[in-house]
Structure 1
Amino acid sequence: METITALTSAPLQPLPERWRVPSQAALLAEARAAEHAGGPAGYWDWAGRRFAWMTPYETAMEGGFGDLRCYVGGRMNVAANCIDRYAADAAHGGRRAVIWEGEDGDVRTLTYRELHDAVARCANGLRALGVTRGDVVAIHLPNLPEAFIAIHACARIGAIYTVLFSGFAPDAIRLRLQAARARVIVTADAAMRRGKRVPLLANLRAARAGVPALEHAIVVNRTGDPPAPERGEIAWDRLLADAAPDCPCEPLGADDPAFLIFTSGTESRPKGVVHSTAGFLIGAWANVQWQVGPQPDDVYWCAADVGWLTFPIQAVIGGLAHGMTLFCYEGALDFPDRTRLLTTARRHGVTKILIAPTGLRMLRAAGDEVVGRERPSGLRLITTQGEPLDPETAEWTERVLDVPVVNAYGQTETGSTWTYPVYGVDALKYGSCGTPVPGHACTVVDDEGREVGAGTRGNLVLTAPFPTLARTIWDDPERYRTAYFARFPGRYATSDEAVIDDDGQIWVLGRADDVINIAAHRISTMEIEGAAAAWPGVAEAAVVGVPDRLRGTMPVAFVTLRAGVDADDARRGVAEAVETAIGRYARLGAVYVTASLPKTRAGKVMRRLLREAAETRGVRGDLTGLEDPSALDAVLAAVTTA
């Protein structure tokens, strides 16, 4: 295994006094004491006692990986814990639960009482359509208040929901509806994205022909001009208007399935990952507690798409479980200009923001002076996850926005992020993922399963189960066991590579297949990206490996530049920066200067498209989820003219 020094050698940065949160430190000490006394189960028992149970649980955890049971014997309802208890409180019921803004400037607000009323009506409406406990309801919506309502309506009656990314093409929608066996879908006539209408209903209609089990489509009128309904379609407004505003919560077993979410992974067949009722709720609550540190006057913006699991964790479930005020935005974060994120946050008094690292790099391209001028005065935190965060971007964000940067790591299958510096308490190291939060444990091992030393790259594995861990794969339990537990028995294989440094900080280097071999040297593309992004004129950088006759694999970089930077200077400067930081063996085969990078709506760079473009000078692969097709045109122009 190769020793990493470029990323991990920086010292821990003590947390300045102005960023410390004493109440968070006190609660963390209480949680750690419970973990010390009773192990992970002791901590999860401490967390579980913060919720309302219809039937109390007997033990917090039983079993192990592949056979996990949590809050055994307990019965509860997620909607009761996220909405009802706050709506019924005289002091809290009138508090804003959701503030929504559309890309076109529309604004709506729901208090906890209003949210409770809408959820109950939607739940009764679903029952009127024949939905019963255990049935699957698909939610194919952009970031709208109706997504919050539909998810909790399903939770209220024990239906299993699955959120489908609103940018999916018809074939992708059809495949997931078939796999889920969904009976009902909630969609919208369209979504607003970069000044255009995304035809959600038209895409669904094209997909429905191959899904005979789908009986009804509930259509939200987003644009004010929806098409005439077809067979099996019913208007959202009519459904709620015809339904009663009172719907008792269904008592659900702690380990009953709450929802399934599809993740493609490296295989062609999507995996429907199943998460449990109580485990996901309590884990999401804990995730928000340690990563965001809710305070009474917070307005929290999870700047992710509802189709990304981060949104339910941080907002729909975890955020509402704390009774927070959540800001929800429909649209691109850099449209019509690069500072839309900041101007929108300032307008609504946002105090804390979760955003993918790519979003920060996009913001950085606007320039330090502009970003500093647009900074919301009440901003307290930037937290990020979803892809590796390079140290350069982390340092820039902290310096220019004057906030701590909490960089977190998790997976769809883990149901939450589980390693990061606790907000308001822990010291920071630019780009690292901190240390495991209470209730979690991990190590790094070689390919034979042996632990490796500090500073050595290896396979990141979890060594103890926890309640938010996915319980199975929908209709394929054997795939669940072999995908996550077969390679390293008794441990969960993340399929990510990582290194733990001398300070115990975890650095996730990316998927194992993002580690490339250059003339027998193994190196993560993240390490090269960090060096490329550190060149002063670079706004964003993405590195992929392409086949090379002499070196086996050759890294190439795609970069976008700050205003006024010369492209030829950038090519030379980036190439020199990589060689200086890493060595000549990592030298870049090419530096492509492009106007933009292809990304998903979640802000993740679609590196497989970059790899195909660099290898073939064209792209024929799946474009599902691509945010802006013009970005791909820019990339192809860069590689064909180089």
Structure 2
Amino acid sequence: MTTDADLHAQSLVPPSDVLRAQAIVSPEEAARLKALPPTEYWARVAAELQWDQPWTQVLDGKLGDFRYFVGARGNVSVNCLDRHAAATPERVALHYEREDGLTETWTYARLTTETARFAAALQDLGVEKGDRVSLLLSNIPEAFVAIQACYRIGAIYSVIFAGFSAAAVRDRLEDARPKVVIVADGTLRRGKVVELKSVLDEARRGVGSIEHVIVIDRLGLCHLLQPDELDYAEVMARTARLAEPVMLEANEPGFIIYTSGTTNKPKGLVHAGLGFLVGTYANVKWSLNLRPDDRYWCTADVGWLVVPIFALVGGLAGGASQVLYEGSIDTPSPSRPYELIEKYGVNKVFTAPTALRMLRRAGQDALAGHDPSGVDLISLVGEPLDPETWHWTTDTFGAFVNNTYGQTETGTAWASAIVGVTPTRPGACGEALPGYRAEVVDETGKPVSAGQLGVLTLTEPFPCLARTVWGDPQRYLDTYFSDFPGRYASADAALIDVDGQLWVTGRVDDVMNVSGHRIGTMELEAALITHPAVSEAAVVAQPDELRGAVPVAFVVPRAGITSSDSLKAELAEAIVGGVGKYARPAAVYVVPTLPRTRSGKIMRRLLRDLLEHGEVRGDLSSLENPDALDVVQSHLRD
């Protein structure tokens, strides 16, 4: 049993004075909101948004089959764009910058007009409510235009990550069966041109549903279009009409987002458009407290759900002025994030722990000549945050670090500090926000005690929870509701400490039973990260006949550190000293890189595959750096 050990014993960190002065509720009011029945809370949130028709019932049904705001009608784009364009048309919506220095400025007025015009163009091509539109785009302003245009006319959109192979793109096209595909000709990544149109050309062969492809010329790569292909600029130039928003029922589907599978094909999770709006609007309010005078940067890729939550829907619904960056944030140098923060006066950032570890690894040379002290808040999601990186971030930026937790399925980072109001603990994910009911349970579904490791579940419906799997409703029920009937099962291992702080240690299959001790990988990795030679660490379980499982550690060293037997021995002792003798790793591999997703998550399941089978099995579509597999495999053979 994992208890409230040293890893979770760090002091609670209160909000900074700056954020406390900006808080929109008092601690007492926050407590009252958390205590409200979820239906009453969500009705209060929804009332702050603009509706064409009110609901007749807040909630109908239960987890696995429910509807929120029954009968209500509205439009996402109206809430994200029109109402801001009417009140403050010249407020900047997007400060766009590309890796090579190209910049653009988009006001709310411009973004709203372009969205309405493109929505009309889609209608002129025959796109109607319920039709699917797929997008293969990078972080460009047209991605915001295209997605909001789909919301405007009720088309169901699906963003396909720009780093996918043609085979992965094809899987998603065959599943969604889009009528129209929108693609950029290419994007930049670490100084190299990534051709997106050519990937689509290969992927779309034989997908008969596609009637039109709209090509956005960003890099001048497309000189000859096929008969069913249209140039975005030409389409916009010939479209004078601005589409009126189509009013949709609150539970009608808004978009499909695919999660990578392990052995099965990717799941197309369906989110309700207006339910997602309500959830993300509240999420941004609590996890960022965005204000009209904030300059805010969400560093994620548009193909990752963080962007719709915290930028494209939640961020715009909150009326923020945002930085949109296309490319790798450490290009042309590791100083680039600091340069962008200073250039645009960024005071709030949403990013991933991996990005912070990248900055930390770059060291003081990258920071030289820059002053990041204008950043008041750094919120995070994506993977466990080690306490050392938490402390480095607070020391470097002087900002409050708000680590959050959520999933593609939940549509929000539902565990978080309420910015300016509630404390956090280094490495934890805050507390369940108002409107959510979370419990950690054992294998039988019984709630466990504070500090005990188990499976994280949610016990009540909420508006932004994915409603089904596209084309396969039984898979939805089997995946999320069969293990613990009456609960949504996250498949994440977690504990809630005595102060209510959530600690997510990884996927359930990342929890290992070593000689009768259940332990999550986060505690082992945290012990490694404290060693001065370690930049990043991943620990996975290897089956063992005697002990059940044994830990195996993969470590990326800091610059200038080389592998040696003595270093490996030191790292093994770091785990023993931080966790206990029973957790001594069977092996420590010092490697220059690890397999990761574009969003920076280390893909531990691939490391397990290499250990157990000598090869990778399952879906590789989200792998950012395939060469890392060969690198790791070569170290395993040595």
State TM-score, norm by structure 1: 0.95
Report deviation, 1:483: 1.7
Aligned to 2:113: 117
Aligned to 1:250: 246
Aligned to 1:81: 79
Q: Per the alignment, in what secondary structure is the counterpart of residue 162 of structure 1?
A: strand
Aligned to 2:45: 47
Aligned to 2:459: 463
Contact 1:4 1:457 in 2 (8 A): no
Contact 1:34 1:46 in 2 (8 A): no
Structure 2 CA distance for aligned equivalents of residues 508 and 531 of structure 1: 16
Contact 1:220 1:237 in 2 (8 A): yes
Report deviation, 1:66: 1.8
CA deviation digits over 1:386-443, x for unaligned, max 9? Answer: 1111122112211222111111111111110111111111112001111111111111
Report deviation, 1:514: 0.9
- 2:594 is matched by which residue type in structure 1? L
Q: Per the alignment, in what secondary structure is the counterpart of residue 293 of structure 1?
A: coil
Structure 2 CA distance for aligned equivalents of residues 576 and 338 of structure 1: 32
Report deviation, 1:148: 0.3
Go from structure 1 to structure 2 and tell me whether the alpha carbon gap of 1:375 and 1:627 turns closer, same or farther (over 3 Å shift).
Answer: farther
Aligned to 2:125: 129
Equivalences for 1:475-554 in 2 at 5 Å? 475-548=471-544, 550-554=546-550
- 1:50 is matched by which residue type in structure 2? E
Structure 1 residue 153 corresponds to structure 2 residue 149:
yes
Structure 1 residues without counterparts, runs of 5 or longer: none
Structure 1 residue 582 corresponds to structure 2 residue 590:
no
Aligned to 2:6: 6
Report deviation, 1:616: 5.8
Aligned to 1:286: 282
Structure 2 residues without counterparts, runs of 5 or longer: none
Structure 1 CA distance for aligned equivalents of residues 261 and 631 of structure 2: 27
- 1:63 is matched by which residue type in structure 2? G
- 2:46 is matched by which residue type in structure 1? G
CA deviation digits over 1:452-493, x for unaligned, max 9? Answer: 111111111111111111111112222222221222122111
Q: Per the alignment, in what secondary structure is the counterpart of residue 572 of structure 2?
A: helix
Contact 1:48 1:60 in 2 (8 A): no
CA deviation digits over 1:31-64, x for unaligned, max 9? Answer: 654564x511111111011111111223332322
Structure 2 CA distance for aligned equivalents of residues 630 and 66 of structure 1: 40
CA deviation digits over 1:544-566, x for unaligned, max 9? Answer: 22334544433222222223334
Go from structure 1 to structure 2 and tell me whether the alpha carbon gap of 1:627 and 1:338 turns closer, same or farther (over 3 Å shift).
Answer: farther
Structure 1 residue 300 corresponds to structure 2 residue 296:
yes
Equivalences for 1:340-419 in 2 at 5 Å? 340-368=336-364, 370-371=366-367, 373-419=369-415
Q: Per the alignment, in what secondary structure is the counterpart of residue 182 of structure 2?
A: strand
Aligned to 1:63: 61
Go from structure 1 to structure 2 and tell me whether the alpha carbon gap of 1:603 and 1:499 turns closer, same or farther (over 3 Å shift).
Answer: same
CA deviation digits over 1:269-289, x for unaligned, max 9? Answer: 221111112210011000101
Structure 2 CA distance for aligned equivalents of residues 16 and 286 of structure 1: 21
Structure 1 residue 596 corresponds to structure 2 residue 593:
yes
- 1:43 is matched by which residue type in structure 2? Y
Structure 1 CA distance for aligned equivalents of residues 245 and 363 of structure 2: 50
- Larger mean CA deviation between 59-68 and 104-113 belongs to 59-68
Structure 2 CA distance for aligned equivalents of residues 619 and 65 of structure 1: 35
Report deviation, 1:383: 0.9
CA deviation digits over 1:176-231, x for unaligned, max 9? Answer: 11111111111111111111111211111111113111111111112123241123
Contact 1:61 1:70 in 2 (8 A): yes
- 1:501 is matched by which residue type in structure 2? D
Go from structure 1 to structure 2 and tell me whether the alpha carbon gap of 1:419 and 1:333 turns closer, same or farther (over 3 Å shift).
Answer: same
Aligned to 1:558: 554
Q: Per the alignment, in what secondary structure is the counterpart of residue 499 of structure 1?
A: strand
Contact 1:71 1:278 in 2 (8 A): no
CA deviation digits over 1:562-583, x for unaligned, max 9? Answer: 2333433542332111110111
Structure 1 residue 314 corresponds to structure 2 residue 305:
no
Q: Per the alignment, in what secondary structure is the counterpart of residue 415 of structure 1?
A: coil
Aligned to 1:263: 259
Report deviation, 1:629: 4.2
Go from structure 1 to structure 2 and tell me whether the alpha carbon gap of 1:265 and 1:3 turns closer, same or farther (over 3 Å shift).
Answer: farther
Contact 1:219 1:234 in 2 (8 A): yes
Go from structure 1 to structure 2 and tell me whether the alpha carbon gap of 1:88 and 1:335 turns closer, same or farther (over 3 Å shift).
Answer: same
- 1:280 is matched by which residue type in structure 2? F
Go from structure 1 to structure 2 and tell me whether the alpha carbon gap of 1:572 and 1:344 turns closer, same or farther (over 3 Å shift).
Answer: farther
Q: Per the alignment, in what secondary structure is the counterpart of residue 68 of structure 2?
A: strand
CA deviation digits over 1:309-368, x for unaligned, max 9? Answer: 111000000000011111111111222322322222222222111111111111110124
Equivalent pairs counted in the alignment come to 637
Aligned to 1:217: 213
Aligned to 2:625: 628
- 1:546 is matched by which residue type in structure 2? Q
- 2:458 is matched by which residue type in structure 1? L
- Larger mean CA deviation between 586-595 and 296-305 belongs to 586-595
User: What is the root-mean-square deviation of aligned Cα atoms in Å?
Assistant: 2.0
Structure 1 residue 450 corresponds to structure 2 residue 464:
no
- 1:47 is matched by which residue type in structure 2? V
Structure 1 CA distance for aligned equivalents of residues 239 and 577 of structure 2: 66
State TM-score, norm by structure 2: 0.95
- Larger mean CA deviation between 222-231 and 578-587 belongs to 222-231
Q: Per the alignment, in what secondary structure is the counterpart of residue 20 of structure 1?
A: helix
Report deviation, 1:522: 2.2
Structure 1 CA distance for aligned equivalents of residues 335 and 602 of structure 2: 19
Go from structure 1 to structure 2 and tell me whether the alpha carbon gap of 1:79 and 1:400 turns closer, same or farther (over 3 Å shift).
Answer: same
Structure 2 CA distance for aligned equivalents of residues 371 and 632 of structure 1: 31
Go from structure 1 to structure 2 and tell me whether the alpha carbon gap of 1:6 and 1:122 turns closer, same or farther (over 3 Å shift).
Answer: same
Structure 2 CA distance for aligned equivalents of residues 265 and 628 of structure 1: 18
Q: Per the alignment, in what secondary structure is the counterpart of residue 444 of structure 2?
A: coil
Aligned to 2:234: 238
Structure 2 CA distance for aligned equivalents of residues 280 and 628 of structure 1: 31
- 1:126 is matched by which residue type in structure 2? L
Equivalences for 1:171-210 in 2 at 5 Å? 171-210=167-206
Contact 1:538 1:570 in 2 (8 A): no
Structure 1 CA distance for aligned equivalents of residues 85 and 366 of structure 2: 40
- 1:52 is matched by which residue type in structure 2? Q
Contact 1:528 1:543 in 2 (8 A): yes
- Larger mean CA deviation between 353-362 and 261-270 belongs to 261-270
Go from structure 1 to structure 2 and tell me whether the alpha carbon gap of 1:459 and 1:86 turns closer, same or farther (over 3 Å shift).
Answer: same
Structure 2 CA distance for aligned equivalents of residues 160 and 295 of structure 1: 30
- 2:595 is matched by which residue type in structure 1? P
- 2:505 is matched by which residue type in structure 1? L
- 1:592 is matched by which residue type in structure 2? Y
- 1:639 is matched by which residue type in structure 2? L
Structure 2 CA distance for aligned equivalents of residues 613 and 493 of structure 1: 28
CA deviation digits over 1:142-166, x for unaligned, max 9? Answer: 1111110000000111100011111
Q: Per the alignment, in what secondary structure is the counterpart of residue 45 of structure 2?
A: helix
Q: Per the alignment, in what secondary structure is the counterpart of residue 170 of structure 2?
A: helix
- Among the aligned pairs, what percent are the same residue? 47
Structure 2 CA distance for aligned equivalents of residues 318 and 452 of structure 1: 33
